[in-house]
Structure 1
Amino acid sequence: MIYGVLIGVILILAGWVYRLHAANRRRSQQLGHIHSKLDRILADDSGTKLLLFTEDPELRLLLTDINRVLELNQRILAERAETEQSIRRMLSNISHDLKTPLTVVLGYLEAMELDPGMPEAERMELMRKVHRKANEVLEMIRQFFDLAKLEAGDQPVPLTRVQMNEVCRRNMLAFYEVLTGKGFEVNLSIPEEPIYAYANENALDRILDNLISNAIRYGGDGNVIGLTLRVEENQVCIDVWDRGKGIGEIHQSRVFERMYTLEDSRNKAYQGSGLGLTITKRLAQQMGGDVRLYSRPSEKTIFTVGLRPFRY
């Protein structure tokens, strides 16, 4: 009787050991399959998921985590590729935008050097053009450095309570002569009641200068420019708008990229560095806000700056 019980126990233990060994062997095979499959995915950079049919709950968790890491890796690779493409495009545009005015400057200087008998009035006119072009190059370089400092976090933007009504009026008034000279109709909507935001006044001045300048440069066809100050839920919003040719849908998601310019901006009438809107967005983000765009070509284009309201 006792021998029978012992034999039964031994058989049960042997069966259990066999099943455990088989399970371990199956798991080893599955881990080997995971290793080889993962190795191929990484080597091919295919972006495919790791698939394995198994009832092992721990392996399922492992596969889920591995696929999450693969997705993260693909996002990082895509972002890196996009960044590299953006840098190449930026360098190409920088080269173009610096080369053009410098070539003009060299042409003017060469003309003066080759013509010693040039009338003084003509010489002075060329010198004024050289000075203007040199200032364009300096302004472009300044914007490159400003953007680099903003993105590196080396340009602090201290925040305080800012009375937005006066900031908006002052910045629009700064363009009074330009707007009247070009025959623009100006539409201001600024409440009498003071509106306060948590912001930096110098950064706001630069943001509004960029947006109003853009509206004048690109919205001239509509001959109307507007600025609206309003409170929207948990934001203080400034809308700078125009009724010009607008921005097509395919460009709207990219206008805030470094050095991204519309084709028209390569024409003299629309010349720009392609950095103004990027700097505008970075400054708004430094203040805890953002800039968004709405555009329906030839009807209305609105750049909206959203900032945190100042709460006592």
Structure 2
Amino acid sequence: MKFDKVTILLSFQWIVMTVLFIMFKDVKAYSILLFLIVNVISVTLLNNHLKFRKRLSELNVELTRAKKGHFHTRLLANDDHLVNDIIFSLNELIEQLENLHSDKIKSEAARKSLLSSISHDIRTPLTSIIGYIDAIKDDIATTQTEKEEYIEIVSKKSIQLKCLIEELFNLAKLDADELPMNFEQVDFAEITREILIEFLPQLKNLGIKIEVEIPDSACTITADQFSVVRILENLIKNAIQYGQQGKVLGVTLFDVDCEYQLTVWDKGPGLSKEDLEHVFEKMYRVDSSRNLSSGGSGLGLAIAKSLTEKNNGRIWVKSTPFFLTSFTIALPKSESYTIKK
């Protein structure tokens, strides 16, 4: 252990006092007593200082372990209250570092999974488009009807690919906090009615009954209108996509304390416990074998969650398979709204 200035000075003081005591043996008793007291104090200070230095050295070893990636390391407290306060703070920092490292690993795994899913979802329709175009070029489609069918397939695949790229672009802007938000007072009930009207033809074609419970009075919220529209569209599309077997889609809007809660529900196959834990993750699909044409992009609910949170709201899901699956968003009323930093 290297000696610091305090250790050297205390040691020097003790040596000097000892030498003086030997040199002046005939001094008065009270002087001897005073000398002994000072000497004991010096020895005690030196001993405590050396213990403190040893303790700091031990802490440094443990911190070095944590710095090298041993994030389960925790520093042990002792009887020194001042040191204990520092130890508690250091343990909190190590715990935060451990959480950050864990989040980094999860984020990296999610990034790789996302890239893999994106690659698959882009490559699949693109391969199909190229295949049908080559078939048209090579005159594999012998009749005009076949050519028109091929062109129609190419058109649908191209639209799917365009929608996927747009969703990826919007999600990237949301993650980077670059999507402009124009907060204003809007009528939540009126927006919901307008969105539902747009889906009525599709619901009718699929034979899905709609049950709506929306107040006649205005339900004023302070939000970005584009975001609210996008959230509702995504939730309704999701309910139609996965719940159409139940042949009913419901939308309810309730006044609950200082917020309005809107629920989109269906009676389809629903979600398992595992699905409930991951349903808002990017590119997650309830059935991993589904492709773009049958299972959606896996981005709709992730976008809905992100937009809801940016509007100072909450979103959650509940599901009892073939009985009721519901997605609920809660947005604060205008009078209780505070802009989220």
* 8 Å Cα contact 1:90/1:258 also seen in 2: yes
Tell me the distance in 2 between the aligned counterparts of 1:194 and 1:56: 63
Asked if residue 87 in structure 1 is aligned to residue 106 in structure 2, the reply is: no
Q: Residue 260 of structure 2: which of 224, 236, 250 is its match?
A: 236
Q: Residue 301 of structure 1: which of 321, 325, 336 is its match?
A: 325
Structure whose CA Rg is larger: 2
Which SS does the other structure have where 1:37 is aligned?
A: helix
Percent of aligned pairs with the same amino acid: 30
Aligned to 1:248: 272
What code does the residue aligned with 1:15 have?
Answer: V
Tell me by how many angstroms 1:170 deviates: 1.1
Aligned to 2:55: 30
Tell me by how many angstroms 1:288 deviates: 1.1
Q: Residue 81 of structure 2: which of 48, 52, 57 is its match?
A: 57
Tell me by how many angstroms 1:303 deviates: 0.7
**Matching of residues 262-301 of structure 1 within 5 Å:** 262-263=286-287, 266=290, 270-301=294-325
Tell me by how many angstroms 1:146 deviates: 0.6
Tell me by how many angstroms 1:284 deviates: 1.1
Aligned to 2:222: 198
* 8 Å Cα contact 1:218/1:270 also seen in 2: no
What code does the residue aligned with 1:50 have?
Answer: L
Tell me by how many angstroms 1:48 deviates: 2.9
Tell me the distance in 1 between the aligned counterparts of 2:47 and 2:72: 33
The structure with higher relative contact order (CA 8 Å, sep 6+) is 1
Which SS does the other structure have where 1:174 is aligned?
A: helix
Which sections of structure 2, spanning at least 5 residues, go unmatched? Answer: 1-25, 337-341
Q: Residue 153 of structure 1: which of 166, 170, 177 is its match?
A: 177
Tell me the distance in 1 between the aligned counterparts of 2:303 and 2:293: 22
What code does the residue aligned with 1:163 have?
Answer: D
Aligned to 1:217: 241
Tell me the distance in 1 between the aligned counterparts of 2:94 and 2:129: 52
What code does the residue aligned with 1:33 have?
Answer: E
**Matching of residues 73-84 of structure 1 within 5 Å:** 73-84=97-108
Tell me by how many angstroms 1:282 deviates: 1.2
* 8 Å Cα contact 2:253/2:263 also seen in 1: yes
Q: Residue 145 of structure 2: which of 121, 139, 157 is its match?
A: 121
* 8 Å Cα contact 2:135/2:141 also seen in 1: no
* 8 Å Cα contact 2:261/2:331 also seen in 1: yes
Aligned to 1:40: 65
Tell me the distance in 1 between the aligned counterparts of 2:224 and 2:43: 73
Asked if residue 10 in structure 1 is aligned to residue 35 in structure 2, the reply is: yes
Deviation string for 1:43-70 (max 9, x for gaps)? 3524232224x21111111111110010
Give TM-score, length-normalised by structure 1: 0.95
Which SS does the other structure have where 2:66 is aligned?
A: helix
Would you identify which runs of 4 or more consecutive aligned residues in structure 1 move more than 3 Å? Answer: 267-270
* 8 Å Cα contact 1:264/1:270 also seen in 2: no
Tell me by how many angstroms 1:204 deviates: 1.3
* 8 Å Cα contact 1:242/1:301 also seen in 2: yes
Aligned to 1:102: 126
Deviation string for 1:153-201 (max 9, x for gaps)? 2111111111122111111111111111111111100112221111122
Tell me the distance in 1 between the aligned counterparts of 2:108 and 2:287: 21
Which sections of structure 1, spanning at least 5 residues, go unmatched? Answer: none
Aligned to 2:205: 181
Give TM-score, length-normalised by structure 2: 0.87
